[in-house]
Chain A
Amino acid sequence: MKADTTIQWEQKGKPPVNLRFFLKLFWTTFTLSMFTFGGGFVIISLMRKKMVVELGWINDEEMLDFVTIAQSSPGPIAVNGSLMVGYHLAGVAGALVATLGTVLPPMIILTLVSLGYKAVADNHIIAAAFSGMRAVVAAIVLQVSWALFKPLTHARKALPLLLFGVSFLALFVFKVNIMVVMISVILFSVVHSLVVIRGEEGR
């Protein structure tokens, strides 16, 4: 009913599916995965920057739905998330290309690292490079969460903000496991949606 009003970027929509697109999809997921250290939400933030803002392949609502599904399913969020995007853009072939692009960088890097991991773990230059990148990653993820938070306030509804506040308290202050929070809210949302829809039909 609303939601459409929150789309403020230039929506380019799904690109034509051809070899060029598959190469682009592979390269995009490959480079994103290459820089994803620090957990699945980092790649989600990078994915938003690249695929929502830069390429316009998906919109914010779709991306948040993909995260919900990726987070609630088995396996790494990074793999699940890019698989959903790949499928959305180009079906099973797209899903497989995106998965390959996401999985290859850690495979290549860890293969090399396992050959001499002590040298890597104790290397001061690598540690220094990571200390710089960690600060950048924090800035990217926080900026993305701010960009995603703003549309919640546009709807001028109390419930989304309340859910945001309560889940933030649960996750950050009380350190409740994210799965517990997710499942509780999904159950709440199922009941709430059923009640709302029944109410609308009754009118």
Chain B
Amino acid sequence: MSILAKLFASFFQIGLFSIGGGYAAMPLIKAQVVDLHHWLTAVEFSDLVTIAEMTPGPIAINSATFVGMRVAGIAGVVVATLGNVLPSVIIMLILAKLYEKYSEQTLLKRILEGVRPVVVSAIFTAGLGLLQLALKSYRVPDLFALVVFLLSFIALNSRKIKVGPIALLGLGAIAGVGYHLLF
């Protein structure tokens, strides 16, 4: 099998079997990339995890791009990412079609309605985890993160201040750099 075919097959499997988000995908990625194909060393893999946490996007896509680039350049990036996303695209298109067709049906409607509180608590839990992470950031004192958090929260809840999430993130980045340079 050519290297591109191997990349595709490997990331297709990762895409197909990683149910439940980034942290569920991590062991699968390690098994394929480090243990099976030796595309990365264990140390490089831990660097990849650090980078994936710092950069936007799902860890599976980040890994596919990173590994693809190292193994086979831009062609590797495209093939690995495509392989990674393809299972999602196929499965989600089927589920989306079923949802649009049956979401008004009483039984499915009720089932999904029943699950909604759990999704809300999952988002709440994720938010608390992110807050803990933000307050633990080691380079800048905790008080800074707390102030930025509180100001953002107030801005988001205020009816007078109209600031989009992306703009607010930009302001957060500027504040972080400014604070770092000043103190």
Contact = CB atoms under 8 A, between A and B. Distances in A.
A141 B126 contact: yes
Given A109-B55, A132-B179, A148-B123, A95 B114 contact: no
A13 interface: no
Given A35-B56, A67-B119, A197 B19 contact: no
A112 to B, nearest CB: 9
B2 interface: no
Mostly, the B contact residues are: helix
B134 A137 contact: yes
Contacts of B103: 65
A47 to B, nearest CB: 10
A129 interface: yes
Interface in B118-138: 118-128, 130-131, 133-135, 137
Contact of B164 (A54, A103, A178): A54
Contacts of B85: 75, 79, 99, 103
B5 interface: no
Contact of A31 (B21, B125, B166): B166
Contacts of A41: 122-123, 126-127
A133 B176 contact: yes
Given A73-B95, A148-B123, A106 B180 contact: no
B22 interface: yes
Nearest to A84: B96
A87 B177 contact: no
Interface in A1-47: 3, 31-42, 44-46
Interface residues on A, range: 35 or more
Contacts of B115: 68, 182, 185-186, 189
Interface residues of B, number: 98
Contact of A107 (B61, B145, B149): B61
B122 to A, nearest CB: 6
B122 A133 contact: no
B96 A42 contact: no
A202 interface: no
B86 to A, nearest CB: 9
A125 B178 CA distance: 9
B139 interface: yes
A124 B181 CA distance: 10
A157 to B, nearest CB: 10
A177 B23 CA distance: 10
Nearest to A96: B89
Contacts of A33: 56-57
Interface in B46-104: 47, 50-51, 53-62, 65-66, 69-70, 74, 77, 81, 84-85, 87-89, 91-93, 95-97, 99-100, 103
Interface string A166-191: 01100110000111011001101110
21 contacts: A39-B21, A39-B130, A45-B123, A65-B103, A68-B115, A79-B92, A107-B77, A110-B57, A117-B47, A130-B173, A131-B176, A132-B145, A132-B174, A136-B168, A136-B172, A143-B153, A148-B120, A164-B117, A167-B121, A178-B21, A185-B118
Given A41-B126, A106-B61, A135-B148, 12 more contacts: A64-B119, A65-B112, A69-B92, A75-B87, A117-B66, A132-B140, A132-B145, A136-B148, A138-B133, A138-B134, A179-B19, A186-B115
Which 3 pairs of residues, A with B, have the shortest CB-CB distance? A106-B57, A132-B176, A75-B88
